[in-house]
Each structure stands twice: as C-alpha cells, then as structure tokens.
Amino acid sequence: QKEVEQDPGPLSVPEGAIVSLNCTYSNSAFQYFMWYRQYSRKGPELLMYTYSSGNKEDGRFTAQVDKSSKYISLFIRDSQPSDSATYLCAMSPGNNRKLIWGLGTSLAVNP
C-alpha cells in the first residue's frame, strides 16, 4: 500500500461546478498537508497549505484535513476552464525534504 493514495482521474466537469479532490494516507505522523497545481509541462505550484486538522479557505479554494480518517480534500467552487490542470497532494511529518506525494488528479473544466 502506498503512503498516499490519490485517484488519478481524469475528472471532467462543466464550468461553474464544484470540484472535490481527495487523498488518503496511511502515516499518522503526517502533520503538514499541501495541494499543488501542475499545468501541462510546468512545475507544480503551491495552492494550499494546512497544518494538522481543520479547514482553510482561500478564494474559491477550500482545503480540509480529517486526521482521524486520514483523509484530505480540496474543493474548488465556481470552477473555471483555467482550473484545468493536475492537482497533487503532498504531505509531511514536518520537513520539506520528506514530502510524500500523491499521483495527482487530472481535472478538465469544460466551458
């Protein structure tokens, strides 16, 4: 079993839809949780960062962490075609160099 599981999709939604992206993990030591967005042939860019459990909101994006279930989510409201990308979750017990990554979920938002 991989430490981080993420459904690769692809996920296709109409413009304006609410998108839910998820990762599960097995290592209870993970404390830091991140979501990155990666456009085709580009490097990943940090979208959201959360420490421990709880919710964090930034514009149209909301990150949720449920440590009891070892489950994290990223919600995108009012999705736009420009949100079409691969979304990667990453997590760590506390040190950047030990980030463990999901495979990424490919999202297409159709106008």
Return residues touching another protein (CB under 8 A): 4, 6, 8, 32, 34, 41-46, 49, 51, 88, 90, 92, 94-99, 101-104
| Nearest distance, CB of residue 94 and another protein, angstroms | 6
| Nearest distance, CB of residue 34 and another protein, angstroms | 7
102, 5 Cβ separation under 8 angstroms:
yes
Measured from the CB atom, the residue of 33 and 109 that comes closer to another protein is 33
Measured from the CB atom, the residue of 61 and 101 that comes closer to another protein is 101
Of 83, 66, 59, 61, residue with least CA distance to 30: 66
- Report the first-to-last Cα separation within the chain, whole angstroms: 37
Match 């489950």 to its residue by tokens: 71
| Nearest distance, CB of residue 29 and another protein, angstroms | 13
Measured from the CB atom, the residue of 55 and 110 that comes closer to another protein is 55
Looking only at Cα atoms, what is the longest distance across the chain?
Answer: 41
| Nearest distance, CB of residue 83 and another protein, angstroms | 19
Q: Which residues contact 26 (CB under 8 A, 6 or more apart)?
A: 1, 2, 3, 4, 70
